[in-house]
Amino acid sequence: MLKKVLVSMVLLLAIAANHASAESEWDQTSVSVNKEWKIQFNTQLLENTITENTIYVKDSNGNKVDTIELEYNENEKSVTVENTEEYQLNQSYTLHISSGVKSLSILPISNEVTMEFVTEGSSSNPGAPSGGSDDSNDNDSDNSSDEPSLNEITSPYEKEFNQLEEEANTELNKLADSAQEELDNGASMESVINKYSEKAETLEAETDEQFNSIYNELVAELEENGYSESDAEPFEEEYEEEKSNRKSELIKRFL
């Protein structure tokens, strides 16, 4: 019971957990029947958790598409989802990423992902792009404007957010390991609580400051290009949610 109290206090300010995020617009329409989805993670994964049962595609009837192949790139920390056959024209599908996907530290992704997409109504033109990673924006294929798309603006910032989370995770895990080691070596409960509560608070404040700096830069660029702050808000909401999820995961680790 005392250890539970300690962990709750020390890790109260836990920083964001590992999670999956695709660098593309959700709920896409007019997607190529040859589309490949590249799912970018913010940490390396346990490769044996990347299976047809943890990452898969379902058709509009709820049936799994059994021609899906998965390719994990350890260096890029990404998974490519490829259909070895073409999707059906003008059909709705959902890409699922379940909590069975785990990081090297055996932590599941913080939120299960379900992405709906609808394929194009007719075959792609010979000169049109087919498939590719989800850095492309299918909805903007006919847009002749030189203005950057929403995805083109947000993708670099998403990578910065992911890097910040990974760095914070590393530092927080070091704190947790050190706190546990001192307890195991007989340190007093009061001294450990005082020491690591302060360190955790400092870490959260520093991480919040960095997040806010990146977030404000994103908002400024969005507004300069005719978008609004609401287009950046999902990043802020996810950040706060991941802090809460990370706290829960770390507390479980000590119980």
* pLDDT score for 165: 83
Tens of pLDDT, residue by residue over 169-216, are 888 888 888 888 888 898 887 787 778 778 888 888 899 999 999 999
Residue 236: is its pLDDT beyond 70? yes
Lowest mean per-residue pLDDT among 17-26, 79-88, 119-128: 17-26
Q: Whose CA is closest to 22, among 140, 117, 118, 127? A: 117
Beta-bridged to residue 200, according to DSSP, are: none
Does this model's pTM top 0.95? My answer is: no
Q: What would the pLDDT profile of 147-175 be if each residue is shown by its tens digit?
A: 788 888 988 898 898 888 888 888 888 88
Domains of the chain: 2-16+152-254 (no CATH), 26-136 (2.60.40.1220)
Strand-pair category, 78-83 with 55-58: unpaired
What mean pLDDT is predicted for residues 114-126? 73
What integer is the mean pLDDT of 223-245?
A: 86
